[in-house]
């Protein structure tokens, strides 16, 4: 079965507060995005990679690709204003049956085991969502007050959110809603039940400056 990695890296990284969009920041000797793409090519060198980038960063990417000698099939697509639009642009570049892993370009620590869980469940059931348990206590805000909630009823959601191509392309024909924060929420709004699989705890999304230090330490340990 054909496999696609749709890597979304079309954001600007406003919460990181750096001049350079965070996906290009170097950690342990390589840009975050290079680490991320390499995970998929190591998992399957035949993977068809669709990389979504801000239109203004295409030239920077070509330099990085040359410098780090990334081989493999990598097609470039321009991003949109929101993650939803960037994913949609990427899906438009994919045709034919197969499995698509939709992954944040800023999650360079996804493990081969997580990719394998996602692949197997998406092949069997149509989709797979990698998650991890909540390890801290949780409180729900109730107006001015707050209330303890049972954390065992919640999971933290990672990527790659993995789908049979026809199913996710159809779900993305919907109009965008503020409610959509990921691909599973888009799919669910189209009436499709989501299947959870174990993610890996190191598979953090690099969002704030502290995440850079955590991710660099983890990458240096590899
Ligand atoms: N218009 C957008 C917005 C986000 N993303 C991608 O979606 C992933 C998760 O988004 P997030 O961490 O929110 O990245 P940014 O939007 O860049 O960060 P911020 O919200 O802090 O601006 C990132 O790899 C980001 O590049 C994208 O492809 N296109
Ligand atoms: C897709 C995602 O990484 C799953 O946890 C997350 O929803 C992205 O959120 P953001 O608002 O783009 O940071």
Average pLDDT on 57-86 reads 95
Integer Cα distance of 169 and 87 in angstroms: 10
Average pLDDT on 55-81 reads 95
Distance 87 CA to ligand 2 centre (A): 12
Ligand closest to the CA atom of residue 77: 1
Note whether 160 and 102 are within 8 A (CB): yes
Is 12 close to ligand 1, i.e. is its CB under 6 Å away?
Answer: yes
Note whether 173 and 88 are within 8 A (CB): no
Average pLDDT value for the chain: 97
Q: What pLDDT shows up at residue 99?
A: 98
Integer Cα distance of 179 and 201 in angstroms: 25
Q: What pLDDT shows up at residue 151?
A: 98
- Give the domain ranges of the chain: 3-221
Using the predicted structure, report yes or no on whether residue 71 has a pLDDT greater than 90.
no
Integer Cα distance of 111 and 116 in angstroms: 9
CATH of domain 3-221: 3.90.550.10
Q: What pLDDT shows up at residue 72?
A: 81
Ligand closest to the CA atom of residue 16: 1
Q: Which of 90, 38, 97, 96 is nearest to 68 (CA)?
A: 38
Note whether 48 and 76 are within 8 A (CB): no
* DSSP output for 183-216: HHHHHHHTTPPP-EEE--TT-----SHHHHHHHH
pLDDT band at 215 (very low <50, low <70, confident <90, very high): very high
Q: What pLDDT shows up at residue 116?
A: 98
pLDDT digits (tens, 9 = 90+) for 120-177: 999 999 999 999 999 999 999 999 999 999 999 999 999 999 999 999 999 999 999 9
Integer angstrom CA distances of residue 126 from 48, 103, 161 = 19, 17, 11
Using the predicted structure, report yes or no on whether residue 222 has a pLDDT greater than 90.
no
């Amino acid at each position: 079965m054909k496999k696609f990695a749709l890597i979304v890296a079309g954001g600007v990284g406003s919460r990181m507060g750096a001049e350079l969009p965070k996906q290009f920041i170097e950690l342990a000797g390589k840009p975050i995005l290079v680490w991320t793409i390499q995970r998929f090519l190591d998992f399957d060198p035949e993977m068809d990679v669709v990389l979504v980038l801000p239109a203004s960063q295409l030239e920077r990417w070509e330099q990085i690709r040359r410098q780090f000698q990334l081989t493999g099939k990598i097609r470039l697509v321009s991003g949109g204003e929101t993650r939803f639009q960037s994913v949609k642009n990427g899906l438009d570049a994919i045709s034919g049956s197969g499995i698509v892993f939709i992954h944040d370009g800023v999650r360079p620590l996804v493990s081969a085991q997580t990719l394998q869980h996602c692949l197997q469940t998406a092949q069997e059931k149509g989709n797979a969502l990698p998650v991890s348990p909540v390890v801290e206590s949780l409180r729900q805000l109730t107006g001015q007050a707050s209330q303890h909630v049972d954390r065992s009823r919640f999971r933290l959601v990672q990527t790659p959110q993995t789908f049979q191509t026809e199913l996710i392309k159809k779900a993305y024909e919907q109009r965008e809603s503020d409610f959509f924060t990921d691909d599973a929420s888009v799919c669910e709004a189209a009436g499709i039940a989501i299947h959870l699989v174990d993610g890996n705890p190191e598979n953090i999304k690099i969002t704030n400056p502290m995440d850079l230090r955590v991710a660099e330490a983890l990458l240096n340990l590899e």
